[in-house]
Amino acid sequence: MKNTVPVRIRRSPGMSGRLGGGLLMALLSAGLFPHAAAHAQDPSAHVRLEPHDVVIGEEFRLIVEVRGASRVERVIIPELFDFAYCINPYDPAVEVKVGDAESGAAANSVSLSYVFMPTRVGFFEMRPFRITADGRSLETDAFAVRVSGGADPVVTARIEPPVVNMGDEFTLIAEVVGSESMFLEFVAPDVFDFAEAGVGGGSSSTQRWRMRALEPGEWVIPPVRVVDQDRSYESEPLSIMITDEPIEIGAEATLQSEVIWVGGEFTLRLAITGVHELDEDPAIPETDGFAELLEVERPWLFIVNTEKTTSYSYRYRAAQAGSFEIGGIRILADGREFESDPVSLVIDEAPTGEADPPDGLVLVGALGKTRAYVGEPVVVEYSVQNLGSWPSISSSAQIGTMSWPTFEDFEVLSLNARRVSVQQVQDRSFRRSFSRRMVVVPLEAGTADIGVAAVEYKVVERRDDWRRAPEDGLARDSTSYILTSEPLSLEVVPLPLEGRPASFRGHVGTLAVASRVDRNRAEVGETVTLRVKVSVTGNVDALAAPEIDFPSGVAVSEPEIVTVLPDRYDTPHGDVEYIYRLAAVNPGTYRIPAVEMSYFDPESEAYGTARGRSYTITVTASGRDAW
């Protein structure tokens, strides 16, 4: 008697068809064999090859068989050395035989069959398979595979996936087996009738081409040709099915925060599916003043089962309490216009909490300095601090909803950093279980007040009896404390007028300027590239572009600006590079003046000026004009 049973295949992270260093687990359902039909014999595990003579470029099967077991829990394939790739790593053929004690039939057995394609010639020793059956650990014998070479190298090719919709991408993969040559040249087949070919890439023996389906129908992909100096080889032709089903475009906007307080942050995420390419970025959602847009994160793309999803994230700070709606987001893609459904949200005032916080549990706000200049970045840090012995070992703490001051008189540059540490406060040791660090820039002179912050601190009690109360699920007793900080004040002083350079344009911090040109001789109409790199401490985002007095007779493009911002947990800093393209319209000698940028250094309380180099460019008549 033979039965086919369902098998669930679990992939290990990073696992591929070659199975290099990975594990493959085939989990067979419990109660696979009727206990009454099983022979009373110890389980055993065996492995065999079919055929025994393995030839490069030809498939072979590796079959694992477990005998005498009523239940097989797990089969682990040992590491396969880099000589073959598995064609069916996640869906091996499964055959089950149920023994019949009365008729004397063979004992229970289950066989898993994996198909491999060898890619290297040689003798390869393999580790044993490890199997768990009837709760016992089994191993097959170690075994070896000898792969012999064929008459000529073989070119294999495959399509992933073999069926796509019009406009979708697919991959053509070609591999040469049985050749040790380092001079292989892959020639892509002509697919222009039905697909757009992309740039290929790979190794000395493998090549991959990304392509996009353009015309519906069943198409034949010609053979991939591989040239090895004076010889050439070809794969078998392939076929691909391109469907013309209507593309289902979806757009879903969701909130990533369940509870929102005034002053707290929330993220609106927009996921767009079924779109090959957006005609333009989605319109930024309007909030009508109940929330302030802080950041639009760079979109990211992910593909699951060939379905492409583009995700956009918008980070806001809640400004008003009440019930609100964010309207549908308009999207233009593939020449069509559509929009997401609106999203409703409720913004609450920060609550007072269920109970007074215990002694020693506090939210502390601290300024990096109490006196600063207008435009000078200042670090503000909020941390939840508690005595090192609280909460007890029978409970755990969680940070819930948060609310931050509105910073009306400041520009907020960043909100970063969470960490755990221990510090001394008033001769007592406190554990800092959570911290949020911000960098703010005061905008006006005077006393700048910073309001209170609030953080929800939840203490969850561990319940030893929760397993005995299934109606309660995983619920545990918890107490929510609302911690509030004290308000803060910052003395903000104006920048001095004395000693202010003419080139000063408002930067508070320090600057360093470095410049270079890619050539100092050119013909009329040729492009000379000037690069000006400015290393900045301070408010990088507010840095004004340098003012350069380019000579007349030189055409100058608008600068391309490249900004690099590392993590800014302490002092904001970064690099800004301005790239100018210059071209002279007449022959002559042109002087590019040194770039000059001034700043105010709050540490030394003095102005400074950074300068680059000047350059002389000699421009001659073009060869055609000289002739």
Asked if residue 499 is part of any domain, the answer here is no
Q: Same domain for 571 and 473?
A: no
Q: Same domain for 161 and 196?
A: yes
Q: Which two tokens stand for residue 545?
A: 């572009």
| Measured distance CA(216)–CA(229) in Å, rounded | 37
Give residue 588's Cα distance to chain centre: 51
For residue 270, the enclosing domain spans 250-348
Asked if residue 498 is part of any domain, the answer here is no
Q: Same domain for 218 and 315?
A: no
Full DSSP string of 247-293: P--EEEEEES-SSEETT-EEEEEEEEES-S-BSSPPPPPP-TTSEEE
Pairing of strands 378-387, 504-517: unpaired
Helix (H, G, I), strand (E, B) or coil at 466: helix
Q: Same domain for 236 and 254?
A: no
Q: Which two tokens stand for residue 297?
A: 């994160």
User: Phi and psi of 540, rounded to 5°?
Assistant: -65, -40
Amino acid at 435: S
Residue 153 in contact with residue 180, Cβ under 8 Å? no
Q: How many domains does the chain have?
A: 5
Q: Same domain for 538 and 482?
A: no
Give residue 237's Cα distance to chain centre: 36
Give pLDDT, residue 32: 47
Asked if residue 187 is part of any domain, the answer here is yes
Task: Find, among 439, 456, 293, 270, the residue nearest to 361 by Cα.
Answer: 456
**C-beta pairs of 189-198 under 8 Å, 24+ apart in sequence:** 189/221, 189/222, 189/223, 189/224, 189/225, 190/222, 191/219, 191/221, 191/222, 193/219, 194/219, 194/242, 195/170, 195/219, 195/242
Q: Same domain for 419 and 539?
A: no
Helix (H) or strand (E) holding 240: strand 238-243
Give pLDDT, residue 392: 56
Give pLDDT, residue 386: 77
Task: Find, among 132, 123, 177, the residue nearest to 150 by Cα.
Answer: 177
| Measured distance CA(39)–CA(68) in Å, rounded | 7
Full DSSP string of 475-526: ---EEEEEEEPPPEEEEEEPPPSTT--TTEEEEEEEEEEEEEES-SEEETT-
| Measured distance CA(346)–CA(459) in Å, rounded | 25
Pairing of strands 122-126, 143-148: antiparallel
500-513 CB burial, b ≥16 within 10 A, e <16:
eeebbeebbbbbeb
**Cβ partners under 8 Å of residue 609, min gap 6:** 501, 503, 596, 597, 598, 599
CATH of the domain at 53: 2.60.40.10
Asked if residue 107 is part of any domain, the answer here is yes
Give pLDDT, residue 422: 43
Give pLDDT, residue 9: 35
Q: Same domain for 276 and 142?
A: no
Residue 199 in contact with residue 210, Cβ under 8 Å? yes
Asked if residue 60 is part of any domain, the answer here is yes
CATH of the domain at 402: 2.60.40
**In angstroms, how far is the first alpha carbon of the chain from the final one?**
93
Q: Give 127's DSSP letter.
A: P
Residues of the chain whose pLDDT is less than 50? 1-39, 103-105, 417-427, 465-475, 624-627
Q: Same domain for 187 and 215?
A: yes
Give pLDDT, residue 82: 65
Q: Same domain for 489 and 550?
A: no
Q: Same domain for 417 and 434?
A: yes
Last residue in a domain, options 148, 164, 190 = 148
**Among positive and negative, which fits the CA dihedral 242, 248, 249, 252?**
negative
Residue written as tokens 């703490």? 397
What tens digit of pLDDT does each residue of 98-126 get? 665 554 445 678 888 888 888 777 788 88
Give pLDDT, residue 280: 83
> What ranges make up the beta strands (E) of 389-495?
395-403, 410-416, 421-425, 428-442, 446-450, 454-461, 478-484, 488-493
Last residue in a domain, options 243, 259, 283 = 243
Last residue in a domain, options 195, 218, 243 = 243
Give pLDDT, residue 416: 52
Give pLDDT, residue 183: 78
Q: Same domain for 372 and 471?
A: yes
Q: Same domain for 134 and 265?
A: no
pTM of the model: 0.54
Give pLDDT, residue 463: 55
What tens digit of pLDDT does each residue of 479-516 get? 788 888 999 999 999 999 999 999 999 999 999 999 99
